[in-house]
Chain A
Amino acid sequence: MARNKTTIATLALGGLLTTAAFLMAFLWAPMTDFGSVNIGGAEIARPDIAQKIFYFHVPVAEASFLVFFFVALYGALFLAKKDRVYDTKARIAAEVTLMFVILTMISGDLWTKASWDTWWVWEPRLTTYFIMTLLVVAYFVLRNSIEDEERRATYAAVFGIVAFLDAPLSFMITRWYRSIHPVVIGGASGSWLFGPRLVTFIVAQVGMLALGYAIYQLRMREELTKERIEAAKAALEG
């Protein structure tokens, strides 16, 4: 299949870009700091190394949200066309979402620990992605609980759509709630994402998306091959 080549290419591109972003993050993008400290009369900046996680955490978070959108989209397409292929696509997209969202949680958690010395904080993004993790896991629990194939696909499609609608609601309300019950969190101000930092960020984001797409394609091919084997088996028995 010609697809073979694009998949490998995307995989390579994704790998390349994320590695590049990693290097750029540490070697090129200027360090942010916590302000400075007076040591022996000299003002020395306190580097915020943990901030580097940002170049991984946010891209993977945004990628996971984007793939989540595809879960909902393929679900809607399945409901419209009743073609089983869309259900398979939705399921694989959900797998990729799960993987990304767990990476988001882990990287977010590491960042929290490194920056504020606590393993968890109920801030908008982390909370929303925690809810998203639960929603994607719920998607798979739902799939496992339904035996009839067509019903499983229909229910999963519907839940995927509703779950996707829920994610932005969760984010908005957590942000509002935190604004009235603030938890003291330091944060970078808005203006620092320019220049080299922005480029690094974009490289990381594109790389992450490319990786996501490549993984999705690889899993899809695996699934489609599996389905063809099943169909051949059924035809032989019949």
Chain B
Amino acid sequence: MAAERKSLSGRQFRAILKKDIVMELRTFEMLTSMGLYTLLTMVVYFVALAGAGQDFDVRKIAAGLIWLAFVFTSLLGLNRSLVHEHDQGVLDALLLSPIDRPVIFFAKAAGNFIFITIVEALSVPVFYFLFLQGKGFGGPLWMLPLSIVAASIGLSGIGTFLATMSVNSRGKDVLLAVLLIPLIYPLLLGAVSAASSSIVGGPHAFSEFWQAMGFIGGFDVIMLLASFGLYEFIVGA
């Protein structure tokens, strides 16, 4: 019986994930708006850095700039993914089926993780192209994607969790921002530190990187566990 439930959960997980991907591929709603948003953020960066002068080493703040873009872009994507269930009240149909509520959480979070990392994978080269041309990375290159992926796990997890609440509120997007940003402060600090170890480097890059990754990992685990445990209370509340 337990094995049956597990395989049913697997089927349900895959079905929800597949549905979200198919719907996105059909409309490209999320990816285009997120991609555009990131691009626009870069334009604003250009304006912000315009007065900094030629000698200013953008690499020092590059990690922060990149993550700033990721956070605000993900706010867009997170709400959209939950709106699909909220409109038409389809969520009720999901809740009526014999599905363990946390499976809905993991499937939605996995979908969001995929979309966010796609946008991130496209944004980093664009950022490099616009701001870091001719400058090498101070630290090992592989640290950057690794840290981004690790932090994105936490971001999509807690983001999906909060978006499940904010989609039911007045002022959906604003509420998500108000809830998410203070909550992910620890994750952000870790992610920016880790990314900096890669971009800026320095004598302690390795140890700082792994310490930061420790924090990212800790945040991911704690927040994912909390979301997993609390999800059934908020979905369909």
Contacts and interface: CB of A to CB of B under 8 A. Distances in A.
Question: Do A and B share a direct contact in the complex (Cβ within 8 angstroms)?
Answer: yes
Contacts of B94: none
Interface stretch (A8-16, A92-100, A135-143, A220-228): A135-143
Given A169-B219, A174-B189, A141 B165 contact: no
A53 B158 CA distance: 37
A162 B190 CA distance: 19
B18 to A, nearest CB: 28
A154 B237 contact: yes
A181 to B, nearest CB: 9
Contacts of A157: 233
Interface residues of B, number: 34
Interface in B117-169: 158, 161-162, 165-166, 168-169
Contacts of B26: none
A145 interface: yes
A229 interface: no
B233 A151 contact: no
B10 interface: no
Contact of A155 (B171, B211, B219, B237): B237
Given A142-B165, A154-B234, A169 B186 contact: yes
Interface in A127-155: 131, 134-135, 137-138, 141-142, 145-147, 150-151, 154-155
B233 A154 contact: yes
A218 interface: no
Contacts of B179: 138, 141-142, 159
Given A154-B233, A173-B189, A180-B208, A146 B183 contact: no
A90 B82 CA distance: 28
B233 A166 contact: no
Given A141-B175, A146-B168, A174-B189, A79 B233 contact: yes
A150 B186 CA distance: 31
A170 interface: yes
**B interface SS class:** helix
Pick the most buried of B181, B185, B189, B223: most chain A CB atoms within 10 A of its CB: B185
Contact of A176 (B170, B171, B183, B211): B211
Given A154-B237, A169-B218, A177-B189, A159 B165 contact: yes
A177 B216 CA distance: 13
Nearest to A76: B230
Contacts of B178: 137-138, 141-142
B237 A165 contact: no
A79 B226 CA distance: 14
A150 B237 CA distance: 8
A180 B204 contact: yes
Contacts of A174: 189
A158 interface: yes
B53 interface: no
B61 to A, nearest CB: 13
A161 B230 CA distance: 9
B210 interface: no
Nearest to A157: B233
Interface in A147-202: 147, 150-151, 154-155, 157-159, 161-163, 165-166, 169-170, 172-174, 176-177, 180
Contacts of A137: 178
A154 B234 CA distance: 7
B182 A158 contact: no
A147 B237 CA distance: 12
A170 B233 CA distance: 25
Interface of B: 158, 161-162, 165-166, 168-171, 175, 178-179, 181-183, 185-186, 189-190, 193, 204, 208, 211, 215, 218-219, 222-223, 226-227, 230, 233-234, 237
Interface of A: 79, 131, 134-135, 137-138, 141-142, 145-147, 150-151, 154-155, 157-159, 161-163, 165-166, 169-170, 172-174, 176-177, 180
The 10 A-B pairs of least Cβ separation, nearest first, read A134-B182, A145-B169, A169-B186, A173-B186, A154-B237, A151-B237, A135-B182, A138-B178, A155-B165, A158-B230
Given A155-B234, A169-B222, 14 more contacts: A131-B185, A137-B178, A138-B179, A146-B168, A155-B165, A155-B168, A158-B230, A161-B230, A162-B183, A163-B183, A170-B186, A174-B189, A180-B193, A180-B208
